[in-house]
Structure 1
């Protein structure tokens, strides 16, 4: 028998588990839901006395009440914030826990408070500032109103009646639960783990695997054989939107099923470090600061194409994007056709870093346009993947020297899983200011649905305002196809995109 202990997230009480718990018990499993102090039922103490340790004690009490029994496996399930008290409790009762399930949650680390997982950067900053005051740890974070839940995660799939119940039963979150650091000894580090990712918010197994490939340190521990993953096609509250499907996933997780990540292998490079799909001239780079120039064998000042990588990319990842074969390939392809190819490293390491990345792009453009080998009046910008949001500045106020904006497999609206992004970086809202600026979008047919939806949103807005958009469709290609889909269709799409951009530069 499996004994599931279900721990809710911020503002919520055990009622959210009602339907999922009923389906688990109907299959013969034992289910216990945890009421976290201060967020369900009568308050046992003032909010300013409730902290993360209080919630860890709440989970420990349930583990101890279940007890150890031959043939019984305890599976701890933590949704959202609930993973913090789950990990704290598992660390102290590791011998009683058979598996930990991260349900659309963050990845808490020893010594880091739950505040770090709050998705809204502005709110994180506000609460961090309050924590530094004399009475900063007192009080509560108000529960969301009905239309405020999206600030905390995608509500896609949640029926209206369920959202009404969620709002009616929501309780304020004691601030000390978010401010107290999680303390872990490592006792539970070897326990089996399952991650359940909710796709509507933008998370996916593919995204996690790419983080592993990029060398993100916090993800390397999830490549072991005892770690599995599942995906659900819904928003942040699957117990409300897909309760039956969630119950089935939890049962399968308890049985050790699920997708396993692939650890980096030097003999098989990850997708972003594989060779570019085209043979390009071996043109050397000229490096200045965070910018690389690939110069053509041509007389006089030449137009330039600046290639902007996506992200967020882990700050510790090596090699950095301007040394990835794909970016180098695009820059050399451009230089081989008579224009200056430019790559750069920008500081998009977190969704809060979009303003920093925008500063880096502006600095590169200033450097490039001042170079006497560059025709500063003929510049194109070409964005990739998550760098697509950075288009917004140039759409909103296109300078006369910007002759074209291009984007390949772009993300063109913020993905909820990554957290809120500054409203400045919303291309669909900025495109109405683009005027006659030519736009070239390369769209892949095998895109992740949540990213494809952002492209469609942008194209709809573009059509509504009459923007000059050309779409290059690559029906059988995937995201980042330049190093993974070595097909003639993909090669033709890259050549098509380059010809189009160069035509707008009058090359």
Structure 2
């Protein structure tokens, strides 16, 4: 029985993993989807990047488990990538699903044209508003899946997106599987590509969009279980 902690990206909470979690539990795994502070049922809780790192570290500590597989999607790859220095030998593996990675001195908004995001955060009391249904076109999602995402999304606390990461333990040291979703671009971002050159990172490609927990939950669950087993 493998303990999984699942962390979704911007605007989403633990609920985003419902179908993946059901697949993993049916296979006998111990699954713990996590909502980060300021999102979903934790909306209204003040949050910065450090808060989200603590959320993850505290959840692993609460479980008291070893050989944990820590899964981060999209934005949450940054706090997931920062948490292992505090989790230590309780961690078996990291799986990053089409995710960002922490780069020392840089934020989620660094390195890409993100002025529109900063402007949106400033215009909405410090929060990044969720996407609209049209923004999910071309990502392998059905109309019903898009509706679920849009209806469940909550504004994302902007401080977590603009605060710079302080990397003390390089992600290159961590046994990591990176899942690249091909409808969101054929190649990993440069920071990820550099890490994939190391001998502790593996690449898995999925022929779907940026939200595979909705578009391909069974396939993603299989990838997570195989990654945990080192396959």
Same fold (TM over 0.5): yes
Q: Is the 8 A contact 1:94 1:188 kept in 2?
A: no
Q: Is the 8 A contact 2:120 2:129 kept in 1?
A: no
Q: Which residue of 2 aligns with 1:40?
A: 40
Q: Which residue of 2 aligns with 1:115?
A: 109
Q: Is 1:155 aligned with 2:139?
A: yes
Q: 1:219 to 1:233 in 2, by over 3 A?
A: closer
User: Which residues in structure 2 correspond to 1:39-438 (within 5 Å)?
Assistant: 39-45=39-45, 49-69=46-66, 73-116=67-110, 121=113, 124-128=114-118, 139-150=126-137, 154-156=138-140, 158-186=141-169, 189-203=172-186, 207=187, 219-257=193-231
Distance in 2 between residues matched to 1:217 and 1:50, nearest whole Å: 25
CA drift of 1:15 comes to 1.4
Distance in 2 between residues matched to 1:14 and 1:220, nearest whole Å: 30
Distance in 2 between residues matched to 1:9 and 1:252, nearest whole Å: 22
Q: What's the secondary structure of 2:115's corresponding residue?
A: helix
Where has structure 1 moved over 3 Å in runs of 4 or more?
126-131, 135-138, 216-221
Unmatched 5+ stretches in structure 2:
none
CA drift of 1:87 comes to 1.1
CA drift of 1:14 comes to 1.4
RMSD: 2.4
Q: Is the 8 A contact 2:37 2:43 kept in 1?
A: yes
Distance in 2 between residues matched to 1:217 and 1:19, nearest whole Å: 30
Q: Which residue of 2 aligns with 1:264?
A: none
Over residues 212-251 of structure 1, what are the superposed CA-to-partner deviations in whole Å (9 max), with x where a residue is unaligned? xxxx676333223322111111111111011100000111
> Which of 1 and 2 has greater Rg?
1
Q: Which residue of 1 aligns with 2:24?
A: 24
Q: Which shows bigger deviation, 237-246 or 49-58? A: 49-58
CA drift of 1:139 comes to 1.6
Q: Which shows bigger deviation, 220-229 or 189-198? A: 220-229
Distance in 2 between residues matched to 1:98 and 1:20, nearest whole Å: 19
Q: 1:234 to 1:31 in 2, by over 3 A?
A: same
Q: TM-score, normalised by structure 1?
A: 0.43
Q: 1:202 to 1:221 in 2, by over 3 A?
A: closer
Q: TM-score, normalised by structure 2?
A: 0.90
Q: What's the secondary structure of 1:253's corresponding residue?
A: helix
Q: Is the 8 A contact 1:228 1:256 kept in 2?
A: no
Q: Which has the higher contact order (CA 8 A, sep 6+)?
A: 2
Q: What's the secondary structure of 2:99's corresponding residue?
A: coil
Q: Is the 8 A contact 1:91 1:184 kept in 2?
A: no
Q: Is the 8 A contact 2:172 2:200 kept in 1?
A: no
Unmatched 5+ stretches in structure 1:
258-507
Q: 1:172 to 1:136 in 2, by over 3 A?
A: closer
Q: Is the 8 A contact 1:55 1:85 kept in 2?
A: yes
Q: What's the secondary structure of 2:110's corresponding residue?
A: helix
Distance in 2 between residues matched to 1:236 and 1:37, nearest whole Å: 22
CA drift of 1:180 comes to 0.7
Q: Is the 8 A contact 1:91 1:188 kept in 2?
A: no
CA drift of 1:43 comes to 2.8
CA drift of 1:191 comes to 1.6
